[in-house]
Structures are given as structure tokens and as C-alpha cells.
Amino acid sequence: AMISAVLRESPVGLSSVKVEKLYSARLPLFAKRSVSLLLLFWVVLFFASGHSVFNSTKRIFLPFADLDSSYATIIDDLQPGTTVLRKGQELSVELKVSGRLPVEASLIIDQKGRKQENFSLQSDPEDVSFFSGSSRALFENCRYRVRAGDNLSPWYNLQVLSPPTLTNWHAKIIPPDSTAMPAFDVNNAEKNLAIPIDSMIILKGKTSEKINKIQIKQGSKTLHENTFSAGNEFLCQFQVTELSTVQLYVFSEIEGNLPLPFVIVPDLSPIVKIKDTELKNNLPKGENFPISFLAEDDYVIARVGLEQIKEQGEREQLQLVMPENDNSSSFAGRFIIDTGSFQSKRTEVLKFRVWAEDK
């Protein structure tokens, strides 16, 4: 009755009823304060352990996403990842971490049918967040990962393959013109593989595996390099300019190093022998003095000369002869010195030298 009397005195219309009057005025204020406190708490935690808080927040908003677990030690980078090795090669890894830096890290190798093996990784003295190390020589496919602090990397597959081999080869050798030698062929069945230096070689070969690149080297010098569609056969041309071993590098998924059995022969200097002639003679002025010689070379003698050695090492060319046969490797002859043609004192010593030159 009392309520009805009040409503009669102050009638209430729907237009005068406001939504905010139906709830407590303290509720929005409480909500704002709670959100502010939660946000402040989240910021403090983020500065204390940012990575863990960030992961936890993602798990709240992305509950079904494939997110990494939270670790104090963070693995930023691991090289080489999934890779291929040559049979018998060691696996070398490089690890970069952040967060709580571990005192030690290790490489874990897992091969089918064998117990897992652990290899210590060494930290860089100048950068304690960087670790590196190697495994033992590996001969079978396996997988690997690293442990750093409380963190473990994912497994990476490691394929171990035998390098390509040279199953058959044939080479055409074109010696330099100075040797006067004709071109000749050699192959993997030959026993005499002597090749003059500066020769041009045309090499054709076949490998055990498909390759897509070849490289010919002598020491650090690259003589030939070629990339092509994957196949078992190759053809290349190069010139040998050093005495070191000729190396053939073939590339597929892995690199193969195949030393070629060529024996590079140097071009030796000619040798001159004085025949039937005294090296020291006392002669009266005006008497002829014959000098007999034999010049020999490993390939071709081009010319032989006689020169006088004067004071202070000066040299004057006196005579020059050339073999009648352009391709002769030896040449015998004789020079005649007319002592009367020299303006010299009675007791002066005259010095002469016989020299030879190859092509």
C-alpha cells in the first residue's frame, strides 16, 4: 500500500528510467582499477622475464597454436640445420643463444640402433653466447640436436653420402710448341702419364653419381670451372701451368675431390758440355783457339752462342749457331776464337762462355 501511494504521488514513466541507475555506481570503478592493476602486474612480469611472459600471453590468446615451451635459455640460431655430409666427415655445428647464458652446451647424435652420443661444445672466449664444436667421423644417416642450459633444439636430419668417384676418363694432351711433341692421348689404363708443363688438356670423364658442377685446380689456382645440368659425364679443357697435382672437384649433393694421376714434367734448361777443350790455356796472341761443345735439352735446342765476359761482368756476343734440324734435342759443334782480333794486353786474361737456349 505504501509503495502504491508513493508511485501515485510520483508516477514513473519508462522514458525516465536510465540504465546506469539499475546498477551500482561502484562496479565500473572496480573494473577499471582491476584492469589497471592487472596491466601493471603484466608489465612488471614482462620486464622481469619477457620471453616467458610473452609465451604465456600467446598461450592465453592462441590456445591451439603450436607454440614453443618457455625456457630460460633461448636458442637463437643453430647451423647447419638439416644438411648432407660426405661419408667419414665430422659434423661441425655453430650455436647462438640468449637469455640465461649456459655454462656449457652439447651436441647430441642419434643413430638408429646405437646409443645417443654427446659431444661438448666450446664457448667463444670473446662471445660467451656463441658455441661451436664437432662430432666424430660419421658413416651412416642420423639426426642431431643440441642442449643449451634448460633448452633442447628440435631434431635435424643428417644424410651421409659417399662422394662421387671417377669411373672412367680419357684425355687428349696438346704439348706446347717449344717441345716439338705431337698431341697424344692418355686414359685411366695408361701407366706413363708424364705431361709437359704448359700443355693443353682436353678431359672427358664419367662419374659414379650424377653431378652438376666440376672444377679443375692446381694448388689454389682454378684452371677450369663449369656448371651444367645433372649428369654422369663431363667434358672440359684446361692448361697446366704448375708442377703441383691436378685436382678434379665434382659437385652433387656433396663435393668430391679426385686427384688426377698426371705427372707434370718441367721444361729443364739446356746443358752445355765443353768437349776436348782445356778450360784454361796460355796462348800467344794471334793463335786460333777452338772450343768444341755439346748442347743437350729435354726437348729442343734452339741455338747456341759464344760470348766474351768483360770486366765488371759485361758480356759481348761473339758468335751464334743454330742446329740444322729444328727439332733436335742435342747439338754438337765448335767455335773458333781468333785471339788476334782482341785488343788486349800481353798478359791479359780473356774469358769466354758458351750458352744454349731451348725453344
Rg of the Cα trace of the chain? 45
Helix (H) / strand (E) element for 259: namely strand 255-259
One-letter amino acid of 64 = F
Give the model's confidence band at 50: pLDDT under 50 very low, under 70 low, under 90 confident, else very high. low
Longest CA span, the chain = 170
Write out pLDDT tens, residues 279-314: 887 777 777 888 899 999 888 888 999 998 887 778
C-alpha cell at 97: 643463444
* Spatial distance between the Cα atoms of 242 and 221, rounded to a whole number of angstroms: 9
What pLDDT does 177 receive?
86
* Spatial distance between the Cα atoms of 59 and 67, rounded to a whole number of angstroms: 8
C-alpha cell at 185: 692421348
What pLDDT does 96 receive?
94
Write out pLDDT tens, residues 2-18: 656 655 655 555 566 56
Helix (H) / strand (E) element for 352: namely strand 351-358
What pLDDT does 162 receive?
87
* Spatial distance between the Cα atoms of 321 and 166, rounded to a whole number of angstroms: 50
* Mean pLDDT score of the chain: 84
C-alpha cell at 56: 604465456
Write out pLDDT tens, residues 303-344: 999 998 887 778 888 889 988 887 888 899 988 888 777 776
Q: What is the 3-state secondary structure (H, E, C) of 70-87?
A: CCCEEEEEEECCCEEEEC
* Spatial distance between the Cα atoms of 325 and 303, rounded to a whole number of angstroms: 11
Residue indicated by cell numbers 647451423? 79
252 or 236, which is more confident: 236
Residue 252 pLDDT more than 70?
yes
Write out pLDDT tens, residues 171-216: 999 999 888 889 999 998 888 889 999 999 999 999 988 888 999 9
The DSSP string of 250-317 is EESSSEEEEE---EEEP-PPPEEEEES--SS----TT-EEEEEEEEE-SS-EEEEEEEEE-GGG-EEE
The pairing of strands 246-251 and 151-152 is: unpaired
Torsion, CA 171, CA 177, CA 180, CA 185, rounded to 10:
10
* Spatial distance between the Cα atoms of 211 and 234, rounded to a whole number of angstroms: 9
Q: Exposed/middle/buried for 299, CB within 10 Å: 0-12, 13-18, 19+?
A: buried
- Mean pLDDT calculated for residue range 32-36: 81
C-alpha cell at 188: 685411366
Residue 59 pLDDT more than 70?
no
Q: What is the pTM of this model?
A: 0.61
The DSSP string of 228-241 is EEEEEEEEEEEE--
Give the residue among 223, 210, 225, 216 at the shortest CA–CA distance from 167. 210
